């Protein structure tokens, strides 16, 4: 009987231990499922952000092979789908191959590039200007696995800058081609801009004129004379004129 009781107690102890282990395993399995669910939700959120952000995002190899791209980048490139886009090579997109070399040199040396501007070809062949910011991702051995970055289309900004540049050049051409003496003065009568006719009239180079006062150059005086139109305008708050002989 005693042996039977010992055996029964041993079996009961083993059963209790098995129940405890089973409970622990169930808890562990629940935590594992919770972890899997959390990981799945995180991946879904990341994918939603990747596809929904209004900036072109990409991942590519150092050789230029495209690994991934979001919808904003496909739209920017005028590419119908991701499969067609991933077939291409980024190196071929650059209008000037030297731009790609400069970009990649910075990536290899610094591991990051911010605001790199270059002219590229879209999928439909049209030329656009882009602004690229990217970073390198390396493996455990320190080798570059791929690049990931963000691209913006800055074509409109570049066109505006070019238009302003041309307008400035046209204004400067007109400014210097007229025979009239034209100067821009500050409140202290100092010349901040003068055309070529003014320089020829005074007999000095334009750089020698800038920063000097008009009354020094035209009247050889230490203060504005009474006939000075700027002096009169300060007093009358009206348009004033004067003639030089």
Ordered by start, the domain boundaries in the chain are 1-52, 55-159, 180-245
Q: What is the pLDDT of residue 37?
A: 61
> Which pTM does this prediction carry?
0.60
- Architecture of the domain defined by 180-245: 2-Layer Sandwich (3.30)
Extract the residue ranges of the chain whose pLDDT is less than 50. Answer: 1-2, 4-6
The answer to whether the beta carbons of residues 78 and 126 sit under 8 Å apart is yes
Q: What is the pLDDT of residue 112?
A: 93
Identical fold between 55-159 and 180-245: yes
> What pairing do the DSSP bridges indicate for beta strands 127-138 and 144-153?
antiparallel
Beta partners for residue 129, in sequence order: 119
CATH superfamily for 55-159 is: PAS domain (3.30.450.20)
Q: What is the pLDDT of residue 153?
A: 94
Tell me the per-residue pLDDT of 168-180, one tens digit each, with 9 for 90 and over.
887 788 778 888 8
Q: What is the pLDDT of residue 105?
A: 93
Residue 72 token pair: 């904003």
Q: What is the pLDDT of residue 104?
A: 92
Please state, in angstroms and rounded to a whole number, the distance separating the CA atoms of residues 119 and 59: 19
Q: What is the pLDDT of residue 53?
A: 74
């Amino acid at each position: 009987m005693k042996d039977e009781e010992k055996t029964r107690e041993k079996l009961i102890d083993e059963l209790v231990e098995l129940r405890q282990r089973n409970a622990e395993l169930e808890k562990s399995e629940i935590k594992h499922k919770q972890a899997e669910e959390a990981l799945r939700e995180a991946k879904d959120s990341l994918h939603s952000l990747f596809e929904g952000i209004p900036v072109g995002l990409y991942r590519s190899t150092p050789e230029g092979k495209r690994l991934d791209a979001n919808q904003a980048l496909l739209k920017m490139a005028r590419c119908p789908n991701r499969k067609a886009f991933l077939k291409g090579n980024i190196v071929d997109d650059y209008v000037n191959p030297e731009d790609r070399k400069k970009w990649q040199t910075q990536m290899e040396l610094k591991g990051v590039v911010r605001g790199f501007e270059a002219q590229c070809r879209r999928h439909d062949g049209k030329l656009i200007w882009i602004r690229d910011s990217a970073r390198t991702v390396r493996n455990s051995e320190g080798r570059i696995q791929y690049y990931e970055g963000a691209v913006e289309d800055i074509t409109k900004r570049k066109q505006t800058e070019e238009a302003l540049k041309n307008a400035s050049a046209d204004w400067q051409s007109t400014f210097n081609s007229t025979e009239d003496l034209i100067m821009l003065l500050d409140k202290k009568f100092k010349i901040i801009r003068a055309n070529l006719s003014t320089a020829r009239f005074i007999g000095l180079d334009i750089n020698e004129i800038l920063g000097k006062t008009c009354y020094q150059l035209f009247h050889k005086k230490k203060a504005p004379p009474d006939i000075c139109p700027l002096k009169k305008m300060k007093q009358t708050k009206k348009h004033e004129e004067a003639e030089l002989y």
